[in-house]
Amino acid sequence: MYALIAAESAIFTIFVVAYIFYLGKSVSGPTPADVLELPIFSTVCLLSSSLTIHLAVRALRQAKVGAFGLWWFLTLTLGTIFLVSTGREWQHLIYDKGLTVSTNLFGTTYYSLVGLHAFHVTVGLLAIALTMILTLLRKVKPEHSERVEVFSLYWHFVDVVWVIVFTVVYVIGR
């Protein structure tokens, strides 16, 4: 998993580099300062889901399957909130502000970077949902804690990437 994370980091690095390289290079509007708002709420949700997944893994290691289910469900909810608010942000940008992938360079780089991250969130959420179903079917046992922990590495990674994307896109980029 660490090796996979290294590979994923390299992919994200390239997209971040492209984003920074093209900052302010768009030949037409809209610019980031015109349209982007700080997604504080969804960021808080995503980052706190890192905490809940950590607590879930700890609960499973201590054989508390009930507590694990609860924390796991919370993680799923927080992640879904993040994904939904990204979706709403995109809807706002596309329909109200008229920014699409092909509008200008900002659109191209913004949607690909944030979209790549959202894609990773989606993959993570699918895995979390699958585990949730297995938990409800009482198939998840304390001996699976190692697998869950390996997966939680991925989820932490997705969060760390969001910190970088947030800084680059919403703080520096504006």
Task: Give residues in contact with another protein (CB under 8 A).
Answer: 3-4, 6-11, 13-15, 18, 21-22, 25-27, 100-102, 104-105, 108-109, 112, 116
Which element (helix H / strand E) includes 62?
none
Nearer of residues 20 and 129 to another protein, judged by Cβ: 20
| Three-class SS state of 114 | helix
Query: Shortest distance, CB of residue 131 to another protein, whole angstroms?
Result: 19
Largest CA distance in the chain: 58
Query: Shortest distance, CB of residue 81 to another protein, whole angstroms?
Result: 27
Q: Does residue 30 have a cis bond before it (omega within 30 degrees)? A: yes
Nearer of residues 72 and 106 to another protein, judged by Cβ: 106
Query: Shortest distance, CB of residue 157 to another protein, whole angstroms?
Result: 14
What span, in angstroms and rounded, lies between the C-alpha atoms of 159 and 48? Answer: 9
